[in-house]
Amino acid sequence: MPFLLLIASFFLNYKFNSSNEILVLKQYFSSKNSYFLSLIISLCIILSYFLNNEYFAVKLYEEYKIKELEIRNNLKLGVPSVNEFHIEEEVSIFFKNRKDNKFYNVEAIIYHDGQFINAKNAEIEIEKKSYNLIFNDGERIILNENEKSKTSFNKFIYSIENKEIETLMFDKEHFNTLGLLKNDNKEFYYHGHNRIYQYFLTSIILLISFKIFLFYVSKKSVFRYYLILFICLLAIQVLNSYLLFLLINNESFSIYFYYFVNLLVLSIFSYSILKFNENN
């Protein structure tokens, strides 16, 4: 997000500098109105960014991971071919049609127990380390050495154990900031503090981006100035990543030192930008 804000301010600044509109804005747009407008826009962007990170992104990511896991497990299970479905040489399912992962007018053979099933419909459910074949409204014939019978059923479940089934593993993207800070996992906990710093960094970059937008420099110099800004912001993020690494892997490295170094560097960066803007 901070890099996107910087790039956006660069393109706006370059466009307005090209037609000298920056000078017009500085002359006719009062500082009071400028600060008020920038504050309103900043609050709207920060609020949208916060809601997206804390709610929408977390919810969509979880739905995506669940769907991805479902697809991967289904690929391990197999793919229906025409009107037949064979599972690990244990079950063969023959069906008339299929809709929404549900099979209709089903006939099935369970080889291990010598079972023959005729059902109105069937579906496959993945639970823990098993595939559950759920047959609804049908008849079951058992023909083996131990039993010979014919029964009717409303619901019959046949389970197939499979140790290769993947389960949903929670990573830090599954949690909002509060969830990370409450997590017992040390890495998740410190990533929660990293998110807090990222919110602070984004807020600072957003506020000074309005100052950056009002830079008035020659066309030859504008790229150089923005390149320096981009490199400085990149250095800030690299430093933060290194401090986060120390925080997770070095017991003697304090969370207070993490915030102190990051905020000190960010303060120097912000002060330099604002001082430069005063002279332009």
* 255-271 confidence digits (pLDDT tens): 999 999 999 999 998 88
- The token pair at 108 is 């099935």
* 65-85 confidence digits (pLDDT tens): 666 655 554 544 555 566 777
- pLDDT confidence band for 246 (50 / 70 / 90): very high
**pLDDT: which is higher, 250 or 7:** 250
% of the chain with per-residue pLDDT over 90: 11
Q: Is the per-residue pLDDT at 278 higher than 50? A: yes
Which stretch of 44-53, 139-148, 179-188, 217-226 has the lowest confidence by average pLDDT?
217-226
What is the DSSP annotation of 24-65?
HHHHHS-HHHHHHHHHHHHHHHHHHHHHIIIIIHHHHHHHHH
Q: Is the per-residue pLDDT at 91 higher than 60? A: yes
- pLDDT confidence band for 221 (50 / 70 / 90): low
Q: Is the per-residue pLDDT at 241 higher than 80? A: yes
**pLDDT: which is higher, 255 or 98:** 255
Section 241-249 average pLDDT = 91
Section 103-121 average pLDDT = 87
Say what the pLDDT of residue 133 is: 83
Section 122-131 average pLDDT = 74
**Amino acid present at 200:** F
Measured distance CA(27)–CA(34) in Å, rounded: 12
* 136-155 confidence digits (pLDDT tens): 999 988 888 788 888 888 98
* 141-198 confidence digits (pLDDT tens): 888 878 888 888 898 888 877 645 445 466 677 788 888 888 888 888 888 999 999 9
Section 7-14 average pLDDT = 64
Q: Is the per-residue pLDDT at 89 higher than 80? A: no
**pTM of the entire structure?**
0.58
Say what the pLDDT of residue 244 is: 92
Which stretch of 36-50, 112-126, 146-160, 195-209 has the lowest confidence by average pLDDT?
36-50
Measured distance CA(257)–CA(264) in Å, rounded: 10
Q: Is the per-residue pLDDT at 239 higher than 90? A: yes
Residue 172: closest CA among 238, 253, 244: 244
- The token pair at 250 is 């070095």
Which stretch of 65-69, 220-224, 240-244 has the lowest confidence by average pLDDT?
65-69
Say what the pLDDT of residue 165 is: 45
Say what the pLDDT of residue 68 is: 63
